[in-house]
């Protein structure tokens, strides 16, 4: 997948969460979460994609997928204008991102013991 390493990779063992939501099968994992965060910070789908080393094509497809899966769109976009356009998180998008981050933190905390036990059995 060629994901850029983030500065938060302090421990060598990481846990990744992927949610399979509803019976329609919309997925929410680290990629979409990072993308949401990037859009929130940069105000642009293309800028967020660039920062992750992802093509605009793919970033846009992920946004489309998220907007289709939830009752309200998570990202609102506009074309044209001074900056050419832009995108920002809707309140629902910000809420989903916050919940996902909180979930990550809670999970890392609750599972730390088991994770450490498994990591201790690794090859040298």
Q: Does 45 bind DNA (CB under 7 A)?
A: yes
Q: Does 18 bind a second copy (CB under 8 A)?
A: yes
Work out which of 58, 61, 64, 111 binds a second copy, going by CB under 8 A.
Answer: 111
Please identify, using beta-carbon distances, which residue of 16 and 79 lies nearer to a second copy. 16
CB proximity list for 100: less than 8 A, separation 6 or greater = 17, 19, 28, 33, 36
Contact (CB, 8 A) for 17 and 107: yes
Contact (CB, 8 A) for 87 and 76: yes
Q: Which stretch binds a second copy (CB under 8 A): 39-47, 52-60, 62-70, 75-83?
A: 62-70
Phi, psi of 88 (to 5 degrees): -145, 160
Q: Which residues bind to DNA, rule: CB under 7 A? A: 1-2, 44-47, 54-58, 60, 63-64, 77-87
């Amino acid at each position: 997948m060629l994901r850029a390493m983030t500065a938060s990779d302090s421990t060598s063992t990481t846990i990744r969460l992927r949610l399979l939501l509803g019976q329609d099968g919309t997925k929410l994992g680290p990629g979409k979460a990072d993308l949401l965060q990037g859009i929130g910070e940069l105000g642009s789908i293309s800028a967020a994609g660039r920062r992750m080393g992802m093509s605009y094509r793919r970033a846009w497809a992920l946004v489309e997928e998220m907007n289709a899966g939830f009752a309200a769109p998570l990202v609102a976009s506009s074309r044209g204008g001074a900056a050419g356009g832009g995108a920002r998180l809707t309140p629902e998008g910000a809420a989903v991102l916050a919940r996902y981050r909180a979930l990550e933190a809670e999970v890392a905390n609750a599972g730390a013991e088991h994770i450490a036990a498994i990591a201790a059995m690794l090859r040298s």
